[in-house]
Amino acid sequence: MPKISEKRKAERREQILAAARRCFAELGYEGATVVRLEEATGLSRGAIFNYFPSKEELFVELAVQDSARMSELWVNEGLEAVVREVMDIDPAWLAVYLELIRRVRTDADFRGRIEARQAEVAPVNRAKVEQGQRSGEFRNDVEAKEIGIFVNLVLNGLALQRASGEEPPSAELVLSLLGDAIGGRAPAETPPRTRP
Amino acid sequence: MPKISEKRKAERREQILAAARRCFAELGYEGATVVRLEEATGLSRGAIFNYFPSKEELFVELAVQDSARMSELWVNEGLEAVVREVMDIDPAWLAVYLELIRRVRTDADFRGRIEARQAEVAPVNRAKVEQGQRSGEFRNDVEAKEIGIFVNLVLNGLALQRASGEEPPSAELVLSLLGDAIGGRAPAETPPRTRP
């Protein structure tokens, strides 16, 4: 029997991930049983678990895809693109993250695997903030890390609001107030320090 | 048989709510079965459902308690007290909200009952923002509603982060950047408009 090519393997992997994403979003993480995953992918559980050893692993890979895409947007297109992306993501998929929050907090192994993958994009994201601080896009009187923390608070708040089905605020409002919090300060606002 | 007094009824109601809160936080909303609620409250399901017709109703009442307490803090003590409260709430309890987000979005009846109760505190919260705009605590070049939206984004982001078990940022950082987004503008920052 001929071996399945690497290209075919990669395609099938993507096909499984895309179907799993739809399935989790539609049914919730708990509702997406193995039987439903089989239906959504059109593959047997044996074939699925040949690529991803567990349902949990499927979720972790989808989360990794998301952080990679967000990081790419952030680095290449900046804050506005990221805010607009969070406003565009399917609320049903966002809710899957929230459904798993309890497990992230209480299951050290699960948490560790997600954090390890997020740590891969963290330095690139941080470097982008530092670059913005040098160019004057972001304020430089607080640490780059602190700017990242605040942006994440706002993006997470937006994700939570969208997942709950609330009417989201306009991207313009979010960008304007967020800009006032983290944007570069005009020189007049930083009075020169008097030397003792 | 003597009737149970109104005072005793109110006490028992509070006792059931407190036990249900602990039970939901410990086991998650789905994990908190009726049997576990019986154990936690020390009452039969008949007694519990005499006060609250369903598990869902128990959750709605706990959410109502939370919005009432947050509104009271906001009105009486202001933004800092609210931020510190979100940083103090049991993360396990916050996760229960997130677990139910999917239902809030997809179950119109559930959503309606929660929104109706939240609508009770909304005018008081809004009036407090408007008062802050008059006193100069908050900027008055955006609408009170917009300030409320942004504060909620940040508080929700903080709640989500804490529910996931992440190390929260310092309250000082959050208050400082949030203050820059929504705080009153120094007169110098608003150049006088030239009349045509």
- The single-letter code of the amino acid at A119 is A
ipTM, interface predicted TM-score of the complex = 0.88
Question: Given B152, B159, B180, which is nearest A181 (Cβ)?
Answer: B180
Which residues of A are less than 8 Å from B105 in CB distance?
A: 91-92, 95, 163-165
The residue of chain B nearest to residue A110, with distances taken between CA atoms, is: B164
Confidence of residue A188 (pLDDT cuts 50, 70, 90): low
Residue with tokens 């508080």: B155
Least confident stretch, A49-58, A110-119, A129-138, B137-146: A110-119
For residue A46, give both structure tokens: 């044996």
**A119 min Cα distance to partner chain B (Å):** 14
**A165 min Cα distance to partner chain B (Å):** 5
Question: Cβ contact (<8 Å) for B150 and A177?
Answer: yes
Task: Report how far apart, in Å, the C-alpha atoms of A129 and of each of A75, A144, B166 are.
Answer: 9, 6, 21
For residue B3, give both structure tokens: 């009737």
Cα separation, B20 vs B93, whole angstroms? 11
Contacts of A16 (CB under 8 A, 6+ apart): A41, A43, A48, A51, A52, A58
Report residues of chain B scoring pLDDT below 70: 1-2, 187-196
Which residues of A are less than 8 Å from B150 in CB distance?
A: 169, 173-174, 177
Enumerate the β-bridge partners of residue B183.
Answer: B138
Task: Report how far apart, in Å, the C-alpha atoms of B170 and of each of A17, A142, A149, B76, B175 are.
Answer: 37, 13, 10, 22, 9
Task: Look at phi and psi of residue A42 and say left if phi exceeds 0, alpha if psi is from -120 to 50, else beta.
Answer: left
Enumerate the β-bridge partners of residue A138.
Answer: A183
Question: Cβ contact (<8 Å) for A157 and B155?
Answer: yes
Other residues' Cβ atoms within 10 Å of the Cβ of residue A65: 15
Question: Cβ contact (<8 Å) for B146 and A91?
Answer: no
Confidence of residue A118 (pLDDT cuts 50, 70, 90): confident
**A30 min Cα distance to partner chain B (Å):** 10
Cα separation, B132 vs B140, whole angstroms? 9
Claim: this prediction has a pTM higher than 0.80: yes
Those residues of chain A whose CB sits closer than 8 Å to some CB in chain B are 28, 30, 91-92, 95, 98-99, 101-102, 104-106, 111, 142, 146, 149-150, 152-161, 163-165, 169, 173-174, 176-178, 180-182, 188-189
How crowded is the C-beta side of A85, counted as CA atoms within 13 Å? 17
Q: What is the pLDDT of residue B40?
A: 94
Average pLDDT, chain A: 91
A:B CB pairs within 8 Å: 124
Q: What is the pLDDT of residue A195?
A: 45
Q: What is the pLDDT of residue A3?
A: 72
For residue A8, give both structure tokens: 């075919």
Return contacts of A57-63, CB within 8 angstroms, 24+ apart: A58/A16, A58/A17, A58/A20, A59/A20, A59/A24, A59/A29, A59/A96, A59/A100, A60/A110, A60/A113, A60/A114, A60/A117, A61/A17, A62/A17, A62/A20, A62/A21, A62/A24, A63/A97, A63/A114, A63/A117
Question: Given B95, B174, B182, which is nearest A101 (Cβ)?
Answer: B95
Concatenating the DSSP letter of every residue in B145-170 gives HHHHHHHHHHHHHHHHHHHTTPPPPP
For residue B92, give both structure tokens: 């396990």
Which residues of A are less than 8 Å from B188 in CB distance?
A: 188
Each residue's pLDDT tens digit, A70-84: 999 999 999 999 999
Q: What is the pLDDT of residue A1?
A: 53
Sign of the Cα torsion B73, B78, B79, B83 reads negative
Mean pLDDT, range A15-21, rounded to an integer: 96
Each residue's pLDDT tens digit, A134-170: 999 999 999 999 999 999 999 999 999 999 998 889 9
The residue of chain B nearest to residue A176, with distances taken between CA atoms, is: B181
* Interface mutation target, options B109, B174, B180, B189, chain A, most CBs of A under 10 Å: B180
Question: Cβ contact (<8 Å) for A149 and B157?
Answer: no
Are B85 and B78 spatial neighbours (Cβ–Cβ below 8 Å)?
no
Enumerate the β-bridge partners of residue B138.
Answer: B183
Mean pLDDT, range A31-54, rounded to an integer: 94
